[in-house]
Amino acid sequence: MLIKQPPDVPESEVTPRDHFLNRRRFLAGTTMAGLSLGAGAYLFGKSKNSQAESIQKLVAPRHAEFSVDEKPNSYKDVTTYNNFYEFGLGKDQPAENAHTLKTRPWTVRIEGEVAKGRTIGIEELLKLAPLEERVYRFRCVEAWSMVIPWIGFSFAELAKIVQPTSRAKFVQFVTLKDTAQMPGQKSWVLDWPYLEALRMDEAIHPLTLLCLGVYGEVLPNQNGAPVRLIVPWKYGFKSIKSIVAIRFTEEQPTTTWAKQGPSEYGFYANVNPEVDHPRWTQASERRIGELRRRKTLPFNGYAEQVAKLYQGMDLRRFF
């Protein structure tokens, strides 16, 4: 269940953000120059570990109705414990290796069953709709979780602009494929590029976030810069990173993990504590930064908002 948070609660009382930003800048060891641009100030500098190629503030008001009343994980947790196989299989490897990703210039191609297909640049995407901060629970299929203050806007806003046709039943998302920028793609661990997809009603649900930032900054490379998806009631692998193409389709499209391990990773991937992964339980989870395990909530705690999307479906079969 989502709990409304009073809009006048200072962000500093929610989590000590400045502490983590200062630590990040210290570790990066950069010399930064400010440049005013659009929604925030851009600060550029080289990084010794692999933070985003530029540090850019991205301030947005918090959407209280769509934010959970839980303490977010630290900036360090969010930016150093990641799954991003394009930069390594270890949780710490994306933060060390993702400096090779170049996020400017960047375009996203929108195609398929739409009336107004187009290619849109990242700077235009940043201005496409009013940005919001949403504090979401994030649950990985490996049974760990975080609470993260993402910044972006509902994917439905983009859909309104490109105008899906009546034949559009699904939306497929495609990650960049470039072995020079993403050296992990030289491995055979997955069939690249990474692909994910949602049913149309899932994609345009208000909770589905086209994400451009986190913790008051643009996305660091290891978190899926410059644009990713966040679907908070599904396991994390549905929240595809570094998107370069969005395809509206009539037929259910291919997704990477459903193809790689169909008995372990279903197309829907809704958080369901009653359906265990073949190799571990999904009934509980480990919140990063805590010792005790938590009971996993159906739909990651968003059942009130999304359960109606799956009425009449066997969620053990359509997992």
Per residue in 69-112, pLDDT (tens digit) is 999 999 999 999 999 999 999 999 999 999 999 999 999 999 99
> Could you give the C-alpha distances from 187 to 119, 182, 239, in angstroms and in order?
29, 10, 22
Element spanning 248, H or E: strand 243-249
Are the C-beta atoms of 243 and 294 separated by less than 8 Å?
A: no
Are the C-beta atoms of 158 and 143 separated by less than 8 Å?
A: no
pLDDT at 56: 86
Domain locations along the chain = 62-310
DSSP 194: P
Assign a CATH topology to domain 62-310: Sulfite Oxidase; Chain A, domain 2 (3.90.420)
User: pLDDT under 70 in the chain at which residues?
Assistant: 1-55
> Could you give the C-alpha distances from 293 to 25, 284, 287, 315, in angstroms and in order?
32, 6, 7, 24
DSSP 191: -
pLDDT at 55: 65
Distance CA(102)–CA(18), nearest Å, equals 26
DSSP 88: -
